[in-house]
Structure 1
Amino acid sequence: MAERVAVLLASLALLAGCAGPIAGTARPVQLSDGDRAKFKTFYESLNKAGDEGASQQQKMLKDTQHPDYRQKTCDLRGATIKVEPTWSTLRTDADWTPPGDKAHPRGDVYVVAVTITLRQQDQAIGSQIGSLHVVLLDDEVYGFAPCLGG
């Protein structure tokens, strides 16, 4: 069991993008109210799917994976995540590339500070503060599921 928790926490760290500092200067992003609402809806839907169970959240992560990275996902092994963004930190990150990749994802890349809680059977088993990247592409919000590049 301890090994499984360690693997899940490692996946959580990859999801949070904790591989190093984020380059650039933090400046509040100028988004339309509609675009800002799309980001909020994305994370609300992710958390709601987690509340409905691991298979629902896994499906949501797969369905909202950036189209250029659909093959790069992993299984959270029955765990779910809860993501709590700090919206005042949302900013563009035009230089970011996913770990192990050299190409910038299509679309407008944003980064936001988050607290992520890993849950197993409705019990919190770990928490991590980090940054998550999301992309606005063709008027849709896409993310990068756990284990991208891992």
Structure 2
Amino acid sequence: MARAATALACALLLAGCGSTVTGVARPLQVTDVERELVSGYFADLNEAGGQGTSEQRDLLKDTQHPDFRDEDCRLPSGTIRVQPTMSTLRLDPAWTPPGEDEHPRGVVLVVAVTLTVVQEGSEIGSQIGSQHVVLLNGKAYGFAPCVN
């Protein structure tokens, strides 16, 4: 009798170990914290550009991803103003910087932007594209627009 009860208990336990998992599959989504870090990165970039070329260049150097700092990077003349379309912000975990084989450390995000080049107070060009931002240790890093 005890064996029968044990066998029944084991059978009931095993019946509950099916492969069905309840719940709904959801794609990875950008968190509010990540969204805030990215929008803050662009706000700082634009603020520095409003202060002048050297201020923006300093910020671009400080926020260049630490794994991809290139001392040979020649920045374009003037300043840039970047207007992100935050509704397009998404994760891009497979991205690697152009010409590189390595994935950057951190959380890689991409966002559509309108980038405007300003020289001596005049807009000289504008284009729409994508810009990658990497979040690493609570800070947003970018990739400076080098002209080589």
TM (norm. structure 2) is 0.77
Q: Which residue does 1:48 correspond to in 2?
A: 47
Tell me if structure 2 keeps the 8 A contact 1:65–1:145. yes
Q: 1:111: how far off?
A: 0.3
Q: 1:34: how far off?
A: 2.4
Distance (whole Å) between structure 2 residues aligned to residue 112 and residue 56 of structure 1: 24
CA RMSD in angstroms, aligned pairs only: 1.6
Tell me if structure 2 keeps the 8 A contact 1:29–1:91. no
Report the more deviating stretch, 103-112 or 67-76. 67-76
Structure 2 residues not aligned, in runs of 5+: 1-26
Distance (whole Å) between structure 1 residues aligned to residue 119 and residue 28 of structure 2: 34
Tell me if structure 1 keeps the 8 A contact 2:115–2:128. yes
> Aligned to 1:87, what secondary structure does the other structure show?
strand
Deviations 1:118-146 (A, max 9, x none): 00011000001000000011111100001
Deviations 1:21-59 (A, max 9, x none): xxxxxxx96233222211111100000000000000000
Q: Which residue does 2:146 correspond to in 1?
A: 147
Distance (whole Å) between structure 1 residues aligned to residue 128 and residue 64 of structure 2: 21
Q: Which residue does 1:33 correspond to in 2?
A: 32
What is the one-letter code of the residue matched to 2:32? D
Q: Which residue does 1:76 correspond to in 2?
A: 76
Distance (whole Å) between structure 2 residues aligned to residue 69 and residue 59 of structure 1: 16
How many residue pairs match? The answer is: 121
Q: Which runs of 4+ in 1 moved over 4 A?
A: none
More relative contact order in 1 or in 2 (CA 8 Å, sep 6+)?
1
Greater radius of gyration (CA): 2
Tell me if structure 1 keeps the 8 A contact 2:65–2:141. yes
Matches within 5 A, 1:93-112: 93-112=92-111
Distance (whole Å) between structure 1 residues aligned to residue 55 and residue 28 of structure 2: 31
Distance (whole Å) between structure 2 residues aligned to residue 33 and residue 100 of structure 1: 31
What is the one-letter code of the residue matched to 1:147? C
Structure 1 residues not aligned, in runs of 5+: 1-27
Distance (whole Å) between structure 2 residues aligned to residue 123 and residue 69 of structure 1: 31
> Aligned to 1:117, what secondary structure does the other structure show?
strand
Percent identity reads 54
Distance (whole Å) between structure 2 residues aligned to residue 143 and residue 113 of structure 1: 14
